[in-house]
Structure 1
């Protein structure tokens, strides 16, 4: 569990995996799809995920430069894990995440 969290434990990495699960994306598409992340942070996270073997980066020798990102087979193998986490989160929200539904008073 520790290794998995080390690889995908940041908020941004999980969102990058979510964005790339639908297929190949250019940097700008990723950036727009993940509102709130700076270009610098996105670049750092993508580089780390590439070094970890989760993301593939393909640069084309064009002007202007074109760079595309996709999940590797290892990155794709995380999709069921992320789906399970998403399902758990939804169940949590449905039961305990809304104080008015669980009988608790909001803080």
Structure 2
């Protein structure tokens, strides 16, 4: 029998993007922050005032993590009092499209589950 050279390597998950998705879904406020930004609310103080249960400390952790991933951009204005705003980066817009596709997939799964129950 002839020894064939193997043509394929074991496929692995994309580690960085998978870690990002896991972290973002693990943070219960990230998706809400994205919704606020889409609605034009881009200042941290306004975000905290817009959502019951969200504290400044937790929001800052969420914003920091999203900024580290490159999903959000932090814009500091040299003013007194200091003003900071956040916006979705170009990379963040691509990332959010992936999250939207995951939501669509989840809806399909939920619909299939409901069909099997009835």
Same fold (TM over 0.5): yes
- Over the aligned positions, Cα root-mean-square deviation in angstroms equals 2.7
* Shift, 1:32, TM fit: 4.5
Match of 1:7 in 2: 20
Aligned residues: 101
Question: Where does the alignment leave 5 or more consecutive residues of structure 1 unmatched?
Answer: none
* Shift, 1:36, TM fit: 3.3
Match of 1:17 among 26, 34, 41: 34
Match of 1:56 in 2: 73
* Shift, 1:2, TM fit: 3.6
After TM superposition, the structure 1 = structure 2 runs for residues 1-107 of structure 1, keeping only pairs within 5 Å, are 1-9=14-22, 10=26, 11-22=28-39, 25-96=42-113, 102-103=116-117
Q: Which moved more, 1:70-79 or 1:18-27?
A: 18-27
Q: Is the CA contact (8 Å cut-off) linking 2:74 and 2:85 kept in structure 1?
A: yes
* Shift, 1:68, TM fit: 0.7
SS in 1 for 2:29: helix
* Shift, 1:71, TM fit: 0.9
Q: Name the TM-score, length of structure 1 as normaliser.
A: 0.69
Q: Distance in 1 between matches of 2:106 and 2:35?
A: 15
Question: Where does the alignment leave 5 or more consecutive residues of structure 2 unmatched?
Answer: 1-13
* Shift, 1:3, TM fit: 2.0
Runs of 4 or more above 6 Å deviation: none
